[in-house]
Structures are given as C-alpha cells and as structure tokens.
Structure 1
Amino acid sequence: MAVDVKEYEGDMSNNRHNELTHVTQRLRRVLSKEVDVSVGHQQFLSDILLEAKELLNVSRVSVWLFDDAAKPSKLINYANTDWDGLITGPLPELAVQDYPNYFRAIINGETISANDAMTDARTSEFTDGYLIPQQICALLDAAIFQNGLAIGVVCCEGRFEPRNWLQWEVVATELIADCCSRRLLVHELWQMQQRLTEMAFQDVLTGLNNRRYVMDYAKSEMSRHQRADRPLSLLMIDLDRFKLINDKYGHDGGDEVLKQFAQCCNSLVRTEDCVCRLGGEEFIILLPETEVAQAMSVAQRLKEKAAALEVQYEGDIIHFTVSIGVASVNLNMPFSQSLKAADQAVYQAKAAGRNQIKLAL
C-alpha cells in the first residue's frame, strides 16, 4: 500500500504541535503557582525542574547560574532534581577554563542538543570527570536569558545510552529555561524590595535602625507589652559636645565617632533590644521586658563604656562622653509622650554637667 508522504508529514507536524501544546499548558500551570521566592533557589525552582524531568523523561534536570553574567568565570549549580530540601553545603561549580567549548556555546545563547554527549564537541570536555562516572550519554541544555544576556543554563541529562532529541523536546527545554528566568526575576525583584525596605528603615552611616523604624517598632511593642502587662523601658542618649568634635576633626571624624558609638551600643544590648539613631548625635535604645531600675543599670554600663572608648582618627584619639535620659514607657499614651519625657531627662543630664544619667519623672 502506497504511503501518502504529504499526509504522513502532516500527521507528524500535528503530533509535534500537540506535544508542544501539551507541554506549554503544563508549564504555564506550574508557573502560575504562587511560590515563596524568599527561600533558596532549590525551593522555588524545584517544581519547574521536576515537571521538566517528567515531561522529557530524563534522569536529571538542574539549573546552573553564572557568577557574573557580564564576565562569567564559572557556573554554579543552584537547583537539582537529585536534591531534597535545603542545601547547606558548598554548591558544585564548573570553571570556564576547564570547559571552554561548552561555556562558549552557553554564553552565546546556544541550545545544546547533544545526542551523544561523549562525541559532541560542546560536551565531550566533560567525558572523564563527569559523563563517564555518572553514565550520562545525552545532554539537552538551554540558556537562561535575562536582559538579552545568558545568565545560566537548564541542563537535562539522559543516562546509559545516546538519545535523538526531538524538536518538541528542544523547544520544551527552551520554554523551561524561560520559566526559570521568570522565577529568577521575581526572586531578584524580591531581593531588591528587601534592600529598599532596609534602606528605608536603616541609618546609612551607622547601620542602626532609624527613627521611622523605631516609631513603628515601638507601637507594636507597646501593644504586646500592654496585653502581657509587662514593662517596657527607653534610653535616650546624646553625645556631649559633639559640635566641638566636628569643628576640630571635621565631619569625617564626627562620623567615625558616631559609627564606633553605634558599635558600642550594639555590643552592650540584648538581641531583642532595639538600638536606633534618632538623628544627628541622638540615639534611642528600646528595652523590652525591662523594669526602669534595670534600664538605669544598662544606662550606667553604656555611660562608662562610652567614656572609656578611644576613637582613633588620623593619628589622634578622640574621647567623648554621653548624657542619658531613662524613661519607663507609658503603655497607655502615645510613644511620643515617653520619648518627650526621656528627652527632657537628657536636658536635665546636660544641665547637671553632662556625662550624667537622669530618670524621667
């Protein structure tokens, strides 16, 4: 019986179309799921890789990212279908100089469909150290793009025998790489948002929390302490005669004093305490679960430690003292009222000769 070539080619085309449609639908469904991108790459990419492993019927799928997309020197393995859970050890790496042909292809954005990985010029470099020990015979690797640059690769591995990769499988792998690119972009945007949030609530010079942060934090802590009927205390600290330090050593010298005093505060307080630079040479320490008598003890230790601090700057040693106001936070009033009371106590400490501690009345 004669075979109609055109009919046969049409059937093959329809089959490829159906396969691609099926793959696209499955990948779109996976990609639409909400995932937590604040976790590691293995966690937020694993569902895509597992889907790829099943779709392509391969032994393993992994994601490798360049250390620097603009000037790559190595690929780092961030996600792998062989891994389970959070990865704590060092991640596997591949250096450019060891695999020049492979890296050249990926950097150029090529999709590598190596039917026989041991003879393909782009993958045969892996023979002794990677392919033979793990019995990998076929590789289908697609570059992951962002902003027009290859930032990494999705690697699909077939074990035990060479394999003729079908066209729909090549296209599917490229779609998988695009899915990974989208997830990685969401992760990058999340990281950027975190950095912006930190900048919004962080003092750039000292690295401490800023006024905006402490006002929000105090509100939530007051609510918590009020429900539990627990004490909350506050220290307000002002560096004595700070203008004279700026006049003598310049603002760079003054900045060094502020940074070292911030470190002094952090070294003294507990993890749960909140240290903040209010502005200029003024600092606040919020002390949860702390009676005012205990807060006075903290203030005394801080005053002594500040007086003993020697700030080295351009061959000179800068000494300074601090005046501290201590207040018990009134949980039934706005935080600004307690802040004002502590501020008044600081003025009293200044009036008493500086290097003093005063309790707000």
Structure 2
Amino acid sequence: MSSSHHHSDQHRRLVLKALLWLTLFGGVCFSAINIMRENWILAVLELSYSFISLYCLLVINRSENLRTLTIIYLVPFFTLMMVILFQPRTSFSVFAWIQTIPIIFYLLLGLRLGLWGSLLFIGIGLFAFSQRFTSDNQVTNILILANLGAAALSVTLFSHIYERSRLRNEQRLTELATTDSLTGLANRMRLADVFEREINHAKRNRTPLALVFLDIDHFKLINDRYGHKAGDKALCHFAQLLSGRLRSGDLFCRLGGEEFAVLLPNTSAEQAATIAHSLCERLAATPLELEGRPLPMTLSAGVASFGEDGELLDELMQVADRRTYSAKRTGRNRVVTEDGHEQPLAAT
C-alpha cells in the first residue's frame, strides 16, 4: 500500500469508527424513545442498526477492504434515515440530518462516491420533506424547500471542494516525500512502497523480481576536481540518460550520493544483468559535457534476485550493495550478478 493511500485509509477508518460509536449509542437511545412512544417499527429498525454498528466496530480493525465495509454500513444507514424522514410520526427536526449526508459521504468514500451518494440521498430527503410539509401558502412551501435544498447542496459543494483540495495536497506532499529533489527520481521511501506492492505481485503470480544497485565510478574525483555543481550535473546527467533505457514498469531510484537502484519487476537475474550491462554501455558511450569538454563516466552494478538472495528489501539491498562494491574493487565499469562472478564490459 502506498503512503498516501495508507494515510487516507487510516483517516477514514478513524472517521468510520467515530460514526459507528455514534450510531451505536444513538440507535439504542432513539429506539428506547420510540418504544416509549409505541413506534415499534422505528424502534426495531434503530435497535437492529445498533447491532450492525457493533458488528462493524468488532471487525473494522482487521478488515482489509475498508471501502466495502463502509458501503455495507452507509447504505442501510442512510436508507434508515430516509425511512425515518417519511414517517408521519417523526418530528420535522429530523430533517436537520440531511445536512450531514455530504459530510459523511465525502469523509468516508471520497470524491466520486461522495458526490453521487450525496445527490441521491439529499434528493430523496428533499422529496420526503416536500411530501410531509405542506401549508396553505404554496409560495411558503417553495421557499422553505428551496432553503433546505440550497443549504444541503452548499454543504455538498463545500465538502466536494475540501475533499478535492485535500487529495491534491496529500498527493503533492507524498510526491515531495518520495522524490529526490535533485534528479527527480524516486527516493528510498518510494522504493520501499513499490517493493511491497511488487513482492505481493511476484508471490501471487510466481514471477521473478530483481534489484540492481548502480554506483557512479570515481564520483568523488568529479566533485573534488570540478566542484559540487559539476557533481550535481553529473548526477542529473546520469539520471536522465539511464531513465530513457528503462521500461515503463521499472523503478529508478536515487538512494543518496552517487548510489542508485533499479527495481525490475518480471525480471530474472540474467535479464537484470543484461539491462545493467546496457546501462553501463549507455553511460560510457555518452559522456557529460562539462565546460565545453566531454567528461567520461562509468558505473559499477550489483544484481540481487528476489527469492534467491532474500525476500525482504533490506536483504536484497545488502546483497546488491555488496556485489556493487565487489565490482568496484575488481576494476569498476562492470556488473556482478553472483558473489565472486565479476562481468567486465567487453569494451573495457
């Protein structure tokens, strides 16, 4: 699960819990009131829904599909509300609950379902009001209904604007938190998020998954000789150049400094080695233009494979990192796929 989705899910889980507790106690109280008023139908409905709320409270923490649980709870909840609105023995004050419909829908179900759910149940609520409230003055009837409808639709509009703004801000913050500011590549946090998704896919479909570490050779010499601005240009050149050689489903990350990683779904260790070799060749064949002169760059790479070298991200990173440094110790500009099996490029 991605960070943004995880935080949104936790937020909605807390809101749903609060609503469940409210309807649990509210249902018990209102059913008791209706029993005293001998309104047996509403009493039974409200008491039954209290038990539904209690059940949802018991399973909410272990429920993996929060949206389904929310819909299972909300549809009967608002249906019961509409039934109450149509009852001739209920007070007109119950129509104040119409204002809560868009707030609850948007908080728990987001933009699309929030909009359609709000319009549906607000429409039914306004129709119930028009059937129950009548006076001798038709103009007065229209004005009251128009005011109630305008208030409900205003709350819907504000809820829609708020939810859309919240989602955009959340997405923007997530993007900032998971993107390397210099190169624009994904960072370590994003790698961890995507890795969780990809290992679940690999286990479920029994497909390979590989991780490649990339380290720019002699990067410290570039910084020492040309300065940190040149080093930043070298990093950006590296990121932009190699990004174009990867597939759309691959994840290219900057881990920090001159260290990078590529997560390769549906890729065996042999295929990952081939991709790593192509990246080495691409970089060696395209030097950085610095101060009007070409600056040759090379990289060393280490490959780790899910299952063979570990099942956790940290395990694969340790193996790939170790093999990368093995490549650097044995001459650089080469790919290591197994411990003790260095593969220098043919061109070097």
Same fold (TM over 0.5): yes
CA contact (8 A) 1:226 1:331 kept: no
CA contact (8 A) 1:235 1:295 kept: yes
Separation of aligned partners in 2, 1:270 and 1:203 = 20
Matched, 1:234 2:211: yes
The equivalent position to 1:278 in structure 2, one of 252, 255, 267, is 255
Higher strand share: 1
Matched, 1:298 2:275: yes
The equivalent position to 1:180 in structure 2, one of 141, 146, 157, is 157
* Aligned position for 1:289: 266
Separation of aligned partners in 1, 2:312 and 2:123 = 58
Pair 38,49 (structure 1): closer, same or farther in 2 beyond 3 Å: closer
Cα distance, 1:174 vs. partner? Answer: 5.1
**1:192-249 alpha-carbon deviations (Å, 9 max, x no partner):** 1222222222222222221223234334433443454432222110001111222333
Matching of residues 4-15 of structure 1 within 5 Å: none
Q: Give the letter aligned to residue 251 of structure 2.
A: C
Unaligned runs of 5+ in 1: 1-19, 58-164
Matched, 1:355 2:330: no
Cα distance, 1:349 vs. partner? Answer: 1.7
* Aligned position for 1:32: 104
Matched, 1:344 2:322: yes
Q: Percent identity among equivalent residues?
A: 33
CA contact (8 A) 2:309 2:319 kept: no
Cα distance, 1:167 vs. partner? Answer: 7.2
Separation of aligned partners in 2, 1:45 and 1:227 = 35
Cα distance, 1:305 vs. partner? Answer: 0.7
Separation of aligned partners in 2, 1:259 and 1:188 = 32
Cα distance, 1:47 vs. partner? Answer: 5.2
Separation of aligned partners in 1, 2:238 and 2:144 = 65
Q: Give the letter aligned to residue 98 of structure 2.
A: R
Q: Secondary structure at the match of 1:324?
A: strand
What is the CA RMSD across the aligned residues, in angstroms? 3.5
Pair 350,180 (structure 1): closer, same or farther in 2 beyond 3 Å: same
Pair 228,45 (structure 1): closer, same or farther in 2 beyond 3 Å: closer
Separation of aligned partners in 2, 1:243 and 1:210 = 21
Cα distance, 1:170 vs. partner? Answer: 5.3
Unaligned runs of 5+ in 2: 1-91, 128-141, 340-348
* Aligned position for 1:61: none
CA contact (8 A) 1:48 1:180 kept: no
Separation of aligned partners in 1, 2:242 and 2:332 = 19
Separation of aligned partners in 2, 1:316 and 1:228 = 49
Aligned length: 237
**1:34-60 alpha-carbon deviations (Å, 9 max, x no partner):** 4787657xx754555677888999xxx
Separation of aligned partners in 1, 2:283 and 2:237 = 9
Matched, 1:309 2:260: no
Pair 38,279 (structure 1): closer, same or farther in 2 beyond 3 Å: farther
Separation of aligned partners in 2, 1:53 and 1:328 = 56
* Aligned position for 1:211: 188
Pair 336,26 (structure 1): closer, same or farther in 2 beyond 3 Å: closer
Separation of aligned partners in 1, 2:204 and 2:163 = 38
Q: Secondary structure at the match of 2:212?
A: strand
CA contact (8 A) 2:180 2:254 kept: yes
Separation of aligned partners in 1, 2:110 and 2:185 = 23
Separation of aligned partners in 2, 1:190 and 1:30 = 17
Separation of aligned partners in 1, 2:126 and 2:171 = 36
CA contact (8 A) 2:106 2:160 kept: no
Cα distance, 1:26 vs. partner? Answer: 2.7
Q: Give the letter aligned to residue 195 of structure 1.
A: R
**1:257-314 alpha-carbon deviations (Å, 9 max, x no partner):** 2223222232122222221111111111121221221111101110011112243456
The equivalent position to 2:229 in structure 1, one of 252, 265, 268, is 252
Matching of residues 152-191 of structure 1 within 5 Å: 166=143, 169=146, 172-173=149-150, 176-191=153-168
* Aligned position for 1:321: 298
Separation of aligned partners in 2, 1:263 and 1:253 = 15
Separation of aligned partners in 1, 2:276 and 2:325 = 15
Separation of aligned partners in 2, 1:175 and 1:234 = 53
Matching of residues 54-65 of structure 1 within 5 Å: none
CA contact (8 A) 2:287 2:295 kept: yes
Separation of aligned partners in 2, 1:287 and 1:307 = 22
Separation of aligned partners in 2, 1:276 and 1:175 = 47
Moved more, 221-230 or 303-312: 221-230
CA contact (8 A) 1:344 1:360 kept: no
Higher helix share: 2
Separation of aligned partners in 2, 1:246 and 1:180 = 54
Separation of aligned partners in 2, 1:252 and 1:37 = 47
Q: Secondary structure at the match of 1:268?
A: coil
Matching of residues 65-104 of structure 1 within 5 Å: none
Cα distance, 1:22 vs. partner? Answer: 7.6
Separation of aligned partners in 1, 2:283 and 2:298 = 6
